[in-house]
Structure 1
Amino acid sequence: MTVSPRVRFADVHGHRRAYVKIGSGPVLLLLHGVACDHHTWDPVIRQLARDYTVIAPDLLGHGQSAKPRADYSLGGFANGMRDLLSVLEIDRVTVVGHSFGGGVAMQFAYQYPESTERLVLVAPGGLGPEVSPVIRSVTTPGFHHVMGALTLPGIRHVNTAALRLAHACRLPGTRDIDEIASIYDSFKDSHQRAAVRHVLRAVVDWHGQIVTMTDRAYLTEEMPLAVIWGADDQVIPAQHAHNVAALAPGADVTVIPDSGHFPHRDHPGEFVRLVRRFIASTEPSSYDQERLRELLRDGPGRRIHRARAGRRPVTPLTGRKARPLTG
């Protein structure tokens, strides 16, 4: 059984922030998805810590961090990460974001490019409208009260046991059910439910995702970017990986077969190998205000032809070994 590193706490703006810090070397900031916490990284965090200083916080409203009535927008989370890093005396990081945490990672890089060396997005939100109906249901008006009833002790124990049994039996469509069972169990905390509802209402409605980076993806020309997706993702479809290949042609995009929405948990060794390879093969982004102005003035339109000419393909993995990326 993997043991998570010791949880530490920092006070930021009067709110407790939980995080783990382990390892030494260049800094990786690991950002979990909605309704998860730093434990999502347990299968990979110690391996990554052999080469890097790894910071894995519980986002505000999640895990052991405070759950106040607060700003749960992407911008608010990006601000919180900048301020936590300031408290920890860390100036620059490679940001690794999973699912909603991928959206926070993109927002962090957009707001604080001078603090961002690279981006690694893991099954991220913000690259297309499609998202699981389960996620969309959280934004409906009756969610808080219905889930309150469904997480009463007896009902919750039966339902979580049933979900985990379905996962153990490998029934069709149950790849990520074990993780979903943990999320469901966490909803017994009314403050957690309220925070998650506020988070999702900022980025999702009944029609799907409403926040996108597609109009600003061209700015990643100056930011090393890797995207890792599970081919069997039933939360955010892996077809969005092809959107990345079109929007940010210089990105390293890998789709892992036999993997769902949590590729870092399904295939931790492969995930760590991909992250290490990406970092070793790229130079940290160097913030240049004049270059940013040039990109903004040109906009995405003038880069379409060059983007098509230099596009990297999406790299599927065969078994557990990746083919080298080309481009």
Structure 2
Amino acid sequence: MPRPSSPRVRHVTVHGHRRAYVRMGSGPVVLLLHGLGCDHTTWAPVMESLARTHTVIAPDLLGHGASDKPRADYSVGGYANGMRDLLTVLGVDSATVVGHSFGGGVAMQFAYQYPERTERLVLVGSGGLGPEVTPAIRAITTPGFHQVMGVLSAPVLRHATTATMRLLARSGVRHLRDLDEVADIYDSFKDPRTRVAIRHVVRAVVDWRGQVITMADRAYLTEAMPMCVIWGADDLVIPVAHASNASALAPSARVEIVPNAGHFPHKDHPQRFVRIVRDFIRTTEPSHHDRERWRELLEAGGVVPHQAEAGEKPKAPVRALRRAAGA
């Protein structure tokens, strides 16, 4: 599917590092966080439509796209800090935060660290909901990745491989549909700085057993925050079963499984994706951070009894929720 015309990429310097971002539309802010090795263009099929009703901000995370690729902190917490400071520079106090794949882990961390600035949380094929992840990502952590990828990204081989991937993505075989995005990621590895940055990112969140980051130990802190989980039914990167983990960790979360979609449901079915996000925002109230409630939850390390509405079911103990996600 051809991408719409690209919006103007802007730049701002935060902490001495140049960061690229796209800003479109007006209204309540939606912050779109891309996945590992991607950039803001992964959201191209949905940005224009979302911008009809919202202010859409889609940055290139540090080490990705047109943003700087310094020797820096590439941890999930570091990225969350960076997004806080980017929003501050752009004059944005709070946003609905949408994170895809690795960006979902950043979105979770942002919500934990800055609940007063998070109106809602939307996780798309997100990391942090279970240990399983494709072996291709785990391979990035192995010794020699940088050198091997340097050889594989030589111009002739890179051009032939990416062209083949894009051809296969258009073949109609559902399990090959994500190869066009994989081709873009592979092509970005021609830049040695990108390879180094991606390696640092992956080593911070994945080891030989799979994903290290998890929302299981802090899911109880999101009790008052509207959450939506969107997953492609045919996701081969992070199993769709992780959406069930999200239901266990956050029972009030809205879960949407998109049929005939892979790891990029916002690309496979952009109109449906926009409808889901827009309806979720329309039917939920922005989260209002209660500092005293947050303190009580932290002190208890789990669910604290409170005055429940009539008929409200008690929430599961936090240890049971951790087991549900394999933590």
Same fold? TM cut 0.5: yes
In structure 2, distance between residues paired with 1:136 and 1:158 = 24
Q: In structure 2, what residue type is equivalent to 1:102?
A: G
TM-score, normalising length from structure 2?
0.92
Instruction: Select which of 311, 315, 318 maps to 1:307.
Output: 315
Q: 1:154: which partner in 2?
A: 156
Q: In structure 2, what residue type is equivalent to 1:295?
A: L
Q: 1:269: which partner in 2?
A: 271
**Are residue 292 (structure 1) and residue 294 (structure 2) matched?**
yes
Instruction: Select which of 285, 298, 301 maps to 1:283.
Output: 285
SS in 2 for 1:306: coil
Q: In structure 2, what residue type is equivalent to 1:182?
A: D
Cα offset, 1:177, TM superposition: 1.1
In structure 1, distance between residues paired with 2:302 and 2:254 = 19
The CA RMSD measured in Å over matched residues stands at: 1.2
> Contact 2:205 / 2:213 at 8 angstroms: preserved in 1?
yes
Q: 1:311: which partner in 2?
A: none
Q: 2:190: which partner in 1?
A: 188
Instruction: Select which of 65, 75, 78 maps to 1:76.
Output: 78
CA spacing shift, 1:111–1:142, aligned 2, 3 Å:
same
In structure 1, distance between residues paired with 2:117 and 2:170 = 42
Unaligned runs of 5+ in 2: 306-312, 317-327
Alpha-carbon deviations, 1:15-52, whole Å to 9, x = none? 00000001000001100001000000000000000000
Number of aligned residue pairs: give it.
307
Q: In structure 2, what residue type is equivalent to 1:149?
A: V
In structure 1, distance between residues paired with 2:208 and 2:164 = 27
Q: In structure 1, what residue type is equivalent to 2:248?
A: A
Cα offset, 1:229, TM superposition: 0.4
In structure 2, distance between residues paired with 1:263 and 1:202 = 25
SS in 1 for 2:78: helix
Q: 1:177: which partner in 2?
A: 179
Instruction: Select which of 193, 198, 201 maps to 2:200.
Output: 198
Q: 1:249: which partner in 2?
A: 251
SS in 2 for 1:33: coil
CA spacing shift, 1:301–1:94, aligned 2, 3 Å:
closer
In structure 2, distance between residues paired with 1:200 and 1:33 = 11
Alpha-carbon deviations, 1:47-96, whole Å to 9, x = none? 00000001000000000000000000001001101111111111111100
Alpha-carbon deviations, 1:214-235, whole Å to 9, x = none? 1111111111100100010000
Q: 1:126: which partner in 2?
A: 128
> Contact 2:18 / 2:68 at 8 angstroms: preserved in 1?
yes
Unaligned runs of 5+ in 1: 309-327
Q: In structure 1, what residue type is equivalent to 2:251?
A: P
CA spacing shift, 1:229–1:47, aligned 2, 3 Å:
same
Q: 1:15: which partner in 2?
A: 17
In structure 1, distance between residues paired with 2:303 and 2:9 = 46
In structure 2, distance between residues paired with 1:20 and 1:173 = 30
In structure 1, distance between residues paired with 2:174 and 2:222 = 37
Matches within 5 A, 1:58-137: 58-137=60-139
Q: In structure 1, what residue type is equivalent to 2:275?
A: R
In structure 2, distance between residues paired with 1:40 and 1:168 = 17
In structure 2, distance between residues paired with 1:199 and 1:272 = 29
In structure 2, distance between residues paired with 1:301 and 1:44 = 36
142-151 vs 171-180, which moves further: 171-180
In structure 1, distance between residues paired with 2:157 and 2:108 = 38
In structure 1, distance between residues paired with 2:94 and 2:121 = 12
SS in 2 for 1:284: coil
SS in 2 for 1:222: coil
Cα offset, 1:173, TM superposition: 2.7
Cα offset, 1:157, TM superposition: 1.0
> Contact 2:175 / 2:262 at 8 angstroms: preserved in 1?
no
In structure 2, distance between residues paired with 1:96 and 1:12 = 21
In structure 2, distance between residues paired with 1:253 and 1:69 = 37
TM-score, normalising length from structure 1?
0.92
In structure 1, distance between residues paired with 2:117 and 2:218 = 18
CA spacing shift, 1:271–1:172, aligned 2, 3 Å:
closer
Cα offset, 1:301, TM superposition: 6.0
In structure 1, distance between residues paired with 2:111 and 2:151 = 39
76-85 vs 156-165, which moves further: 156-165
SS in 1 for 2:195: helix
